[in-house]
Structure 1
Amino acid sequence: MSLPASLSAWLLVLLCAVSGGYCLRRVRRSEREARGGAAGEAVMGFGMAVMAVPSGIGPWGPGILLAVFGAAVLHALWLLRSGVHHAHHLVGSLAMAYMSYTALTAAGGHGHGGGPPLVTGALLLYFAGYVLLGGARLVTAGGGQPVAGGPPVVRAELTRACRLAMGMGMLAMLLSL
């Protein structure tokens, strides 16, 4: 039995919004060094939720989303100055800007949408690998014991699950191009 397209879209909106909300909560509770990454994940979660809303609903359009995700790309580039471990934020921001751009060109009558198959395929491979690796890390995470000098494993597992959910959401949106 398959879900109607609008129901699955709204479930994706809910999943991404909850992930964004959790990341926003992490921003408030994190130390200064970790806030940038958590803020980027919160923007990505809420942005993915907005992008997953079925077309024709809401005041935003592909142009507004492209501007927002363009700003997210700049933020991700800023985060890269503190280390390459923020590269995933850049890839995610670029993917969202790419999907916004393809929606904009499709809406403007400049093509059928979907973007170049090579770019879409590369992003699909990246996020499929990210989801598989994230799932493996989540499954092999420890049994709820505190990490020395860090947050409890339960919070770490929830953060991993949040990232995994956003990765799956990104994969689903890329598959719909």
Structure 2
Amino acid sequence: MHGPAQAAWLLVALCAATGAYCLLRMRSRIEEQRRTAGGEALMGFGMAVMAVPAAVVAPPRWAWLVYAAVFGAAALHTVWAARANRHHLHHLVGASAMVYMSVTMATAPGAHAGHGGTGVPLLTGTLLLYFAGYVLWSGARLAPRAVASAGGGGAVLGWVDRPELALACRLSMGIGMVAMLLTL
């Protein structure tokens, strides 16, 4: 991705940490956590790899096509999973955005692909609006949960089973997606 190297490395760290936590969530006692954690770990690690500054590692064109194929397969899997749970529709948008960014980087890896001097492409702008809205919505949902969990009470859950931590991971990936789309 394009942009300042320091911001890119922070994004790499954020996405990798999120991916690692999502891998740990795959061991959760809560079935819904386990069901979504794998796809979220893939997104976190995929975003971390894509955010590595191009000055450090400039992937060859075929690598972007591999990313597109991996996230295309994830999108197809998500279509199947979305039949049972609407939350998976967000995963579909995320996987599709990763395919879009990968294809964009494969077609013009050294330039701001899709920008013909006329501003932000329509699909990029639409995805930016979606993920910005998702970040605001997730943040609004997270605040009351964080206050409630700080107050104690209720059943004691392991740190892998905490729904507010899963929501915080989704929030951080949404922020990461906004940052990646801005630098596209």
Q: What TM-score do the two structures reach when normalised by structure 1?
A: 0.85
SS at match of 1:134: helix
Q: Return the alpha-carbon distance in structure 2 between the equivalents of residues 10 and 67 of structure 1.
A: 25
Q: Deviations over 1:100-121 (max 9, x none)?
A: 01001113x8x85137711111
SS at match of 1:104: helix
The alpha-carbon deviation at position 36 of structure 1 amounts to 2.7
RMSD: 2.6
**Residue 35 (structure 2) aligns with:** 36
- Bigger fraction of residues in helix: 1
Q: Return the alpha-carbon distance in structure 2 between the equivalents of residues 38 and 119 of structure 1.
A: 27
The alpha-carbon deviation at position 65 of structure 1 amounts to 1.0
Q: Return the alpha-carbon distance in structure 1 between the equivalents of residues 37 and 154 of structure 2.
A: 20
**Residue 148 (structure 2) aligns with:** 143
Match of 1:131 among 132, 135, 140: 135
Identity %: 56
Q: Deviations over 1:146-173 (max 9, x none)?
A: 556x947982221111111100000000
Match of 1:84 among 74, 83, 86: 86
CA 1:53/1:86 → structure 2, altered by over 3 Å: closer, same or farther?
same
> Given that residues 23 and 41 in structure 1 are in contact (C-alpha distance below 8 angstroms), is that contact kept between their aligned partners in structure 2?
yes
**Residue 170 (structure 2) aligns with:** 163
**Residue 22 (structure 1) aligns with:** 21
Q: Return the alpha-carbon distance in structure 1 between the equivalents of residues 74 and 14 of structure 2.
A: 20
Structure 1, unaligned runs of 5 or more:
none
**Which ranges of 4 or more aligned residues in structure 1 deviate by more than 4 Å?**
30-33, 150-154
| 2:113 matches 1:113 | yes
CA 1:146/1:96 → structure 2, altered by over 3 Å: closer, same or farther?
farther
Structure 2, unaligned runs of 5 or more:
none
> Given that residues 146 and 152 in structure 1 are in contact (C-alpha distance below 8 angstroms), is that contact kept between their aligned partners in structure 2?
no
Q: What TM-score do the two structures reach when normalised by structure 2?
A: 0.82
